[in-house]
């Protein structure tokens, strides 16, 4: 594990492998770089792979204050520049998915392509927004149960491996409350459709079951997107069906990058 400071925040990351294009893996809300371990291991056989802990997460610093999506993207662009990675394939899951979209909008020169693995909703329905805002309010007063229930009941299938569900819960619930609450606010405030308009690099969307962003709408918001859909996995499809995810990323690279 290595750390680099950007705007006073120390960011932790793991750097391994060799070969271009390099990969940058960006985890989701209250997760850490280990949530892309199956992909990092797979692609490090032929590519340089960097897996980052976003600010507030994992072994990175956890400052108090706002956690806007733009700050994550700026951090990642800085790491790409400092490590001389060239144009990378940035792969993001959930909150990381909209982060790599913002990276494409604000820092297109550092990207060969983006992969959004079941990204956070581009548009939050009224019902989902209300549910999430209630969860944030509970987190702020020290009640983690709505957070636990949301992860367990909304982000997995009834057929999901219970050991994986418990491992994900343990990892996500370990994140500090101020990070959990403010990172969600950052996602709610992010204008993903505006970022999509500015995204000109090749883009792959890997939907889960049920998808947070229906593929037909993704094609409207991001006309150059390539849609894929994993089978038999919920929101954490990169962990539940890693072989499917890896194969679709490889196919995307062969045909579009």
Q: What is the pLDDT of residues 198-253, one digit of tens each?
A: 999 999 999 999 999 999 999 999 999 999 999 999 999 999 999 999 999 999 99
Question: In CATH, what number is assigned to the domain containing residue 97?
Answer: 3.40.50.1820
Encode pLDDT of 66-116 as tens digits. Answer: 999 999 999 999 999 999 999 999 999 999 999 999 999 999 999 999 999
How many Å is the Cα radius of gyration of the chain? 17
Tokens 């089978």 found at: 231
User: Of how many residues is the chain composed?
Assistant: 257
Mean pLDDT of the chain: 97
Domain-located, residue 150: no
pLDDT at 103: 98
pTM surpassing 0.85? yes
Quick: pLDDT tens for 26-59: 999 999 999 999 999 999 999 999 999 999 999 9
Phi, psi (5° rounding) for residue 110? -100, 10
Give the span between the Cα atoms of 255 and 257, in whole angstroms.
6
What domain range includes position 239? Answer: 2-123+191-256
On whether residue 209 sits in a domain, the answer given is yes
Position 155 in a domain? no
Q: How many domains does the chain divide into?
A: 1
* Percentage of residues in the chain having pLDDT higher than 90: 99
Spell out the residues 6+ positions from residue 252 whose beta carbon is closer than 8 angstroms to its own.
Answer: 113, 115, 202, 204, 226, 228
> Which tokens sit at 19?
């070969």
Other beta carbons less than 10 A from residue 8's beta carbon:
7
Domain presence at residue 247: yes
């Amino acid at each position: 594990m290595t750390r680099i400071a950007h705007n006073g925040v120390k960011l932790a990351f793991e750097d391994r492998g060799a070969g271009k294009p390099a990969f940058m893996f960006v985890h989701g809300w209250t997760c850490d770089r280990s949530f892309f371990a199956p992909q990092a291991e797979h692609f490090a056989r032929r590519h340089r792979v960097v897996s980052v802990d976003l600010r507030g997460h994992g072994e990175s610093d956890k400052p108090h204050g706002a956690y806007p999506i733009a700050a994550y993207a700026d951090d990642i662009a800085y790491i790409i520049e400092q490590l001389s990675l060239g144009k990378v394939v940035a792969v993001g899951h959930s909150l990381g998915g909209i982060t790599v979209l913002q990276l494409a909008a604000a820092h297109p020169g550092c990207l060969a392509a983006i992969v959004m693995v079941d990204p956070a909703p581009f548009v939050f329905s009224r019902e989902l927004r209300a549910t999430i805002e209630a969860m944030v309010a509970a987190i702020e007063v020290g009640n983690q149960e709505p957070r636990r229930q949301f992860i367990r009941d909304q982000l997995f299938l009834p057929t999901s491996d219970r050991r994986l569900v418990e491992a994900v819960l343990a990892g996500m619930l370990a994140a500090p409350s101020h990070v959990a609450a403010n990172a969600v606010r950052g996602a709610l405030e992010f204008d993903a459709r505006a970022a999509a308009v500015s995204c000109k690099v090749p883009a792959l969307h890997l939907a889960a079951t049920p998808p947070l962003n229906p593929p037909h709408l993704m094609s409207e918001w991001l006309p150059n997107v390539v849609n894929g859909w994993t089978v038999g996995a919920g929101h954490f499809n990169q962990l539940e069906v890693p072989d499917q995810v890896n194969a679709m990323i490889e196919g995307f690279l062969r045909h579009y990058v």
